[in-house]
Structure 1
Amino acid sequence: MLPINACFSTPQQDIVLCTLNARYIHSAFGLRYLKANLGELAERCELIEYTLDARPEDIVEELLARQPLVVGFGVYIWNVVQTLKVISLLKTVSPETKVVLGGPEVSYEQQGQEIIALSDYVITGWGEVSFAQLVGELLQGSEPPERIIAGVQPKLDQIAMPYHLYTEDDIANRLLYVEASRGCPFKCEFCLSALDKTAWPFDLELFLAEMDTLYQRGARHFKFVDRTFNLKIKNSLRILDFFLERLSDDLFLHFEVVPDHLPNALKQAITKFPAGTLQFEIGIQTFNPEVQQRISRRQDNTKAQENMCWIREHSDAYIHADLIFGLPGETLDSFANSFDQLFALRPHEIQVGILKRLKGSPIVRHTDAHQLRFNPNPPFSIVSSDTVSFADVQQIGRFARYWDLVGNSGRFKNTLPLLVNDKPFEQFSRLAEAIYQRTGQTHKISLLRLFDLVYQIGVESFSVAPQALKSAATLDHQASGLKSMPKCLGRDGVAKKTLNIDAKVGKNNSTRQSRHT
């Protein structure tokens, strides 16, 4: 796949900033910050974004077509393997090109990393100031002796905001990441933000002026990357008021919210937004108090549950809630308890994640005491501990995947309640394992086949009345928009009837008939 701005006839660019995004819809927020803070060098810099399925050969060809003196790569846990392939080829073909790395995957534990050994320089932590200084020296022919450069952390009012670098194509087709603050005051040990001393707010009026410019350019989707949007309620209210004044049918705002901090003033503001506008990402991670204390996570569980109930019952905000499996001391039973508690709060989505060992995160201090073992390959997920086995981790991995397909997708709103009843984790685990036993797959399962699998397992293993399950599945199928019918709902007869109707409308409309077939 070519980058957004791929062009082989482009003039020379002394500096190229590059990264591999997980998907096209994502945008490289950090690289835009780097370019915005290059000063007079910005006009000599081009930013190019690829996706993970791009071939290294194509990427290197396009990079070298620009004859860059310096290429900077943003390296993350999701793209480190592919980026290594690109850099190894780039340095083979053009060893004189200076390669500079940055990003969380190379900011810590550099020793022994092949990708770092292949590069010329690595900037750790914040890069806005240090990258500009480094490339300035390199373009003048001076090569700093230190390969690992600790990024300078300036005050936020000394950092240029990058929002003007979002193109018209970005605004029309991609997620726009924005931040009203940086850092986090909490010390949850599974997260790299635990290394921050506090949270720092940008100048709110300057930030909102940038948001207004984006809005005037047509931006309607704003994904806030602030770790704690509702930490300072005064600022939260000002931001919500700003968007209320610009409310439109297509406005969409994503915030990461601290679950146990929802004062009345914020509640009142939330109720003013219609359905489809607000999405709250709420990281519960675990309801186990002992595990919370062990990983330095401060969370009032009672207050968090009350606030989530309030959001669900009294607002139209969409709730995306997170749990993490594999935290030190967490057992399969205690995780199941957290899932059941969270399920009872009725969030729209429950994302079940597996603990990952992020380089630099404090979670590693529990490695010996709790026998934490992590996959040596990205994304470095936990594979076992003193309280969970490899088989447990595999089971939860399948659970998470099937939960996305059945629970989070919203495709089985009527069918799912007939299966999970009052023991959602236990019952859905049975469903997940039954699906796996019958398919041996967690991916590439068509929605039609999934309808049949859920129906068959519900009847045979859960003793759900066939007619009740068929009625629920019928409603779910109608809502899905699928033209074809699953076997459990009489696929053959209905499909034939549909084709006959199409034939009456127009025998020569082959495109329409092939779609139904």
Structure 2
Amino acid sequence: MTTDILLVTLNSTYQHSSFGLRYLYANLEELQNRAQIMEFTIARDPRDIAEILLRQKPKIIGLGVYIWNAQESLELVSLLKRISPETLVVLGGPEVSHEAETNPICQIADFTIKGEADFLFRDFCKNFLNDGTLPAQKFVTNILPDIKTIKTPYEFYSDEDIQNRVLYVEVSRGCPYRCEYCLSSLDKAVRNFDVPAFLADMQKLMDRGARQFKFIDRTFNLSPSTCTQILEFFLERVHLGLFLHFEMVPDRLPTEIRELIKKFPAGALQFEIGIQTWNTDVARLVSRRNDLEKVKDNFRFLASETGVHTHADLIVGLPGEDIHSFARGFDTLAELRPDEIQVGILKRLKGAPIARHDKEWEMVYSNHPPFQILRTKSMDFATLQVMNRFAKYWDLYANSGTFKKFVESLKDKAQEQEHKSFFWQFYEFNDFMSKRHAQSHGISQLNLFESALVYLIENQKWPEEKAKELLAEDYLATGKKELPRFLKKGEEKNQKLSGENSNKINLPKRQQRHLVGKPETVS
């Protein structure tokens, strides 16, 4: 069996699907019957992947390279070119679209397509397969394609994708903002797909059983009219049990959008809201624009009047940010009650303008993916190491939704302290966990519960029975029927998870846990 064109990438986990490969396939035109999409995960041995690919005897392998698979992709390309040098390897994706000339994987591969490759890859394949013509240059680029002429890839989500994987969708490409840590800052403008055609595609996916959609638009609510049109479409079908993820501009939530999202049942919507920093001087340095008073008002509205699951982002390690200003920003955000706070460590994305601060702010990044910041002028290496662990333990305890009572107890404890800071209270718990566990990954849920119990008893001086009672509530809320031995006391209470909506909304388990306590239908 042979396939002339293999479209390949290494996803971070199985549940993710490659949106980019499906776009390439959709736009191959008459070459589609000579092409095949092949997805793997970064956990797969590169030698096994190379064996599977070369078994197809491809003439062209198109490989999508991203920050999460950069190292594994380098190993794979090295193998492919050593074993089968006659097979053309063509790279694409954000990790090779900038600074490609100095990127080792680009030196090994035959060609690299920089930027949006919807048409460039098709033209490459046509020229080579039809008459053996290859580009004169190793790096291929051109003007952005007319977005209205790009064929959308939604029909190429398989039934397996629809049942088991995240379905990525988009109404627009580009971003009008200039945040220097983000590659979208290089875009000149936002370009929009035809909305009626997009909605027709969404209807077809729903007819096939799709219920979860992740929009990758950088600024979904940038245009209130487009945003409203799409929300109205999904609201009419929300009874199917939909879960919709959007990335929202923090300070743009006009009345017409507010009134719409109030009508969605709790848990049907998830908003990813990039705050990144509350420090106005830092925001100015990295060209981040937010009306912080509007942001606060929007968060209060979302928390008190809607059932939206909110996921807010903060970045550690931005130029000019020290641990104390980050702590103040964290506390400000926590008071606004988002369901999750994603504490992210700054990464140096190739081509991102933040590189201009390297000298003044002594920004030192790892040379290896994901290219995280190692130290800055205002945050030393030791502090950033602590914050790496803080981010992990915050995710395990707070963001997971599994330890709601325990995390609330830490928040209450903070109010008894002179600093009254939730950040510094969790920072103390992070220090305890860092001493108790050699590493912050690979810790079982049982061990997390046991560690929380030890912390309450030994560090917070809680009575043992009271500490067990609190953690037993959290443990039973996970759906478990039997308490582990270390949480048992004289007489166990029979408690059940009270999230009645969890069977009505087809949302992920993590979001279901945050659903408890939200209003069922807001409007």
* Both structures adopt the same fold (TM-score exceeding 0.5): yes
Match runs of 1:133-152 below 5 Å: 133-139=123-129, 140-152=131-143
CA deviation after TM superposition for structure 1 residue 151, in Å: 3.9
Greater mean deviation of Cα atoms: 453-462 or 47-56: 453-462
State yes or no: 1:18 paired with 2:16: no
State yes or no: 1:243 paired with 2:241: no
Distance 1:242 1:481, change over 3 A: same
The unaligned stretches of length 5 or more in structure 1 are 1-10, 495-517
CA deviation after TM superposition for structure 1 residue 445, in Å: 1.5
Structure 1 residue corresponding to 2:440, chosen from 428, 439, 442: 442
Structure 2 residue corresponding to 1:469, chosen from 462, 467, 492: 467
CA deviation after TM superposition for structure 1 residue 485, in Å: 3.1
Structure 1 residue corresponding to 2:367, chosen from 362, 365, 376: 376
Deviations 1:234-293 (A, max 9, x none): 011110111112123521100001111101110010011101210000111111100111
1:125 is aligned with what amino acid? G
Deviations 1:433-463 (A, max 9, x none): 1011112220121222211211211222223
Which residue of structure 2 lines up, in the alignment, with residue 39 of structure 1? 29
State yes or no: 1:52 paired with 2:50: no
Which residue of structure 2 lines up, in the alignment, with residue 126 of structure 1? 116
2:439 is aligned with what amino acid? Q
Greater mean deviation of Cα atoms: 324-333 or 215-224: 215-224
State yes or no: 1:460 paired with 2:451: no
CA contact (8 A) 2:465 2:489 kept: no
**CA distance in 2 between partners of 1:111 and 1:259 (Å):** 36
Which residue of structure 2 lines up, in the alignment, with residue 429 of structure 1? 427
* SS of match in other structure, 1:18: strand
CA deviation after TM superposition for structure 1 residue 467, in Å: 4.0
* SS of match in other structure, 1:212: helix
Deviations 1:346-403 (A, max 9, x none): 1111110000000000000000010000011100000000000101101011111111
State yes or no: 1:205 paired with 2:196: yes
* SS of match in other structure, 1:105: helix
CA deviation after TM superposition for structure 1 residue 412, in Å: 1.3
**CA distance in 2 between partners of 1:465 and 1:303 (Å):** 43
Match runs of 1:213-252 below 5 Å: 213-252=204-243
Question: When the two structures are superposed, what TM-score results if normalisation uses the length of structure 1?
Answer: 0.91
State yes or no: 1:301 paired with 2:299: no
Match runs of 1:173-192 below 5 Å: 173-192=164-183
Match runs of 1:96-175 below 5 Å: 96-139=86-129, 140-175=131-166
2:424 is aligned with what amino acid? E
1:261 is aligned with what amino acid? R
State yes or no: 1:341 paired with 2:347: no
Which residue of structure 2 lines up, in the alignment, with residue 399 of structure 1? 390
1:239 is aligned with what amino acid? I
Which residue of structure 1 lines up, in the alignment, with residue 483 of structure 2? 485
Greater mean deviation of Cα atoms: 407-416 or 311-320: 407-416
CA contact (8 A) 1:180 1:204 kept: yes
Which residue of structure 2 lines up, in the alignment, with residue 279 of structure 1? 270
CA contact (8 A) 2:389 2:430 kept: yes
**CA distance in 1 between partners of 2:259 and 2:440 (Å):** 42
Greater mean deviation of Cα atoms: 149-158 or 203-212: 149-158
CA contact (8 A) 1:23 1:51 kept: yes
Structure 2 residue corresponding to 1:332, chosen from 323, 332, 355: 323
* SS of match in other structure, 1:101: strand
* SS of match in other structure, 1:414: helix
CA deviation after TM superposition for structure 1 residue 211, in Å: 0.9
Distance 1:256 1:479, change over 3 A: same
CA deviation after TM superposition for structure 1 residue 53, in Å: 1.1
Deviations 1:131-157 (A, max 9, x none): 111111111211222110114311111
Structure 1 residue corresponding to 2:184, chosen from 183, 193, 205: 193
Greater mean deviation of Cα atoms: 364-373 or 87-96: 87-96
Greater mean deviation of Cα atoms: 226-235 or 153-162: 153-162
Structure 1 residue corresponding to 2:247, chosen from 245, 256, 265: 256
CA deviation after TM superposition for structure 1 residue 73, in Å: 0.2
The unaligned stretches of length 5 or more in structure 2 are 416-420, 493-523
CA deviation after TM superposition for structure 1 residue 482, in Å: 3.3
CA contact (8 A) 2:453 2:471 kept: yes
Q: Report percent identity of matched pairs.
A: 46
CA contact (8 A) 2:322 2:379 kept: yes
Q: What RMSD, in angstroms, separates the aligned Cα atoms of the two structures?
A: 1.5
**CA distance in 2 between partners of 1:212 and 1:453 (Å):** 47
**CA distance in 2 between partners of 1:226 and 1:84 (Å):** 28
CA contact (8 A) 1:170 1:176 kept: yes
**CA distance in 2 between partners of 1:484 and 1:151 (Å):** 61
Which residue of structure 1 lines up, in the alignment, with residue 515 of structure 2? none
**CA distance in 2 between partners of 1:27 and 1:459 (Å):** 44
* SS of match in other structure, 2:393: helix
* SS of match in other structure, 1:415: helix
CA contact (8 A) 2:311 2:340 kept: yes
* SS of match in other structure, 2:213: strand
* SS of match in other structure, 1:198: coil
**CA distance in 2 between partners of 1:475 and 1:174 (Å):** 32
Which residue of structure 2 lines up, in the alignment, with residue 350 of structure 1? 341
2:422 is aligned with what amino acid? P
CA contact (8 A) 2:472 2:483 kept: no
**CA distance in 1 between partners of 2:307 and 2:388 (Å):** 31
* SS of match in other structure, 1:383: strand
* SS of match in other structure, 2:36: strand
**CA distance in 1 between partners of 2:240 and 2:478 (Å):** 23
2:450 is aligned with what amino acid? D
* SS of match in other structure, 2:379: coil
CA contact (8 A) 2:211 2:240 kept: no
**CA distance in 1 between partners of 2:141 and 2:56 (Å):** 29
1:72 is aligned with what amino acid? G
* SS of match in other structure, 2:231: helix
**CA distance in 2 between partners of 1:362 and 1:464 (Å):** 49
Residues matched between the structures, number: 484
State yes or no: 1:410 paired with 2:401: yes
CA contact (8 A) 2:251 2:294 kept: yes
Q: Which structure's relative contact order is higher, taking Cα pairs within 8 Å and 6+ residues apart? A: 2
**CA distance in 2 between partners of 1:265 and 1:183 (Å):** 24
